[in-house]
């Protein structure tokens, strides 16, 4: 295991932590990126035997077992789609285009080729409405 140690200047106030801005990357990770990483971690816990089942993970995470199942279903996506989700650009403002709920139909499709077609459609955005003249 490699341990990296780095000093970051942190000043605490009554409610907020102030971090040296030179160390902070602007924007936040999209929620789907965090959920994809969490799904991979859950899968690792189950495979290694450190978690006994979905209910155990749900208790640890203080969420319901069905929610854990929804998150874990992201591991059924094709590896290239998972990678794309993990490396989505940070968001500075606004609402993300991709959500876990939008990806559920993809996770139910077991054929990765069909998943990739659905993913391409999802990435291109909703179909535009016809313009009436």
Q: What does the pLDDT average to over 126-132? A: 55
Per-residue model confidence (pLDDT) at position 10: 59
**Residue 42 pLDDT > 90, yes or no?**
yes
Does the predicted model carry a pTM greater than 0.95? no
**Residue 45 pLDDT > 50, yes or no?**
yes
pLDDT in tens, 60-107: 889 999 999 999 999 999 999 999 999 999 988 888 889 999 999 999
**Residue 11 pLDDT > 90, yes or no?**
no
92 or 120: which carries more pLDDT confidence? 120
**Cα 116 from Cα 110, distance rounded (Å):** 11
């Amino acid at each position: 295991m490699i341990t990296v140690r780095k000093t970051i200047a942190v000043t605490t106030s009554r409610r907020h932590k102030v971090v040296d801005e030179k160390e902070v990357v602007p924007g936040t990770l999209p929620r789907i990126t965090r959920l994809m990483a969490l799904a991979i971690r859950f899968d690792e816990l189950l495979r290694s035997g450190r978690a006994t089942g979905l209910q155990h993970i749900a208790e640890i995470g203080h969420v319901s077992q069905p929610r854990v199942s929804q998150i874990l279903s992201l591991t059924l996506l094709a590896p290239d789609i998972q990678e794309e989700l993990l490396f989505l650009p940070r968001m500075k403002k606004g609402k993300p285009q991709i959500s876990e709920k939008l990806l559920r139909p993809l996770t139910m499709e077991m054929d990765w080729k069909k998943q990739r077609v659905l993913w391409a459609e999802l990435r291109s955005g909703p179909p535009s409405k016809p313009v009436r003249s």
